[in-house]
């Protein structure tokens, strides 16, 4: 591993971002903060895809994958925020621990 940026540097950045995203997903109380953690995790995966596409396969397949992941992240944000609004109307709160009584 050298000073000049190589595959390892990008993989380490992606690993750090993944862990921060994991931390946000597991420990945040606010539902929207949990969504932000999910976005961070998806971004870490994207960075891995692009780094492998640049340094290992040298083909554009990884880029196509990243486009689909970005698209799915946008869809996920829209639908999940709609669900968060529905939860907010029902429970008057978006705190995750208060929403444990989900049945019927």
Partner 1 sequence: MRSPRYGKSRMEISQILHIAGFYLFALITVVAGFFVAFAQNIMRAVFALMFALFGMAGLFLFLHADFLAATQVLIYVGGVLVLLLFGIMLTQQMVEADIRTGRIQFAPTLLAMFIVLGFLLFLIFKTPWNISTASGFEETTRGIGTLLMTEWLLPFEVASILLLAALVGAVSIARARRPGA
Which positions ≥6 away from 1 have C-beta within 8 Å? 8, 9
Instruction: Kindly state the tokens that stand for 58.
Output: 């040298």
- Contact positions with partner 1 (CB under 8 A) in 45-84: 46-47, 50-51, 53-58, 60-61, 63-64, 66-68, 70-75, 77-79, 81-84
User: Which residues, in sequence order, are bridge partners of residue 95?
Assistant: 30
- Residue 88 to residue 94: CA distance in whole angstroms: 6
Question: Which of 86, 99, 101, 104 touches partner 1 (CB under 8 A)?
Answer: 86
Smallest gap from Cβ 31 to partner 1, in A, equals: 8
Nearer to partner 1, 27 or 101 (CB): 27
């Amino acid at each position: 591993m050298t000073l000049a940026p190589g595959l390892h540097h990008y993989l380490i950045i992606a690993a750090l971002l993944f862990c921060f995203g994991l931390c946000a997903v597991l420990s945040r109380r606010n539902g929207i903060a949990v969504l932000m953690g999910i976005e961070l995790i998806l971004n870490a995966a994207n960075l891995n895809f692009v780094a492998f596409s640049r340094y290992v396969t040298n083909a554009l397949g990884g880029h196509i994958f990243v486009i689909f992941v970005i698209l799915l992240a946008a869809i996920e944000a829209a639908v999940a925020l709609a669900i968060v609004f529905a939860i907010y109307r029902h429970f008057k709160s978006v705190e995750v621990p208060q929403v444990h009584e989900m049945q019927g």
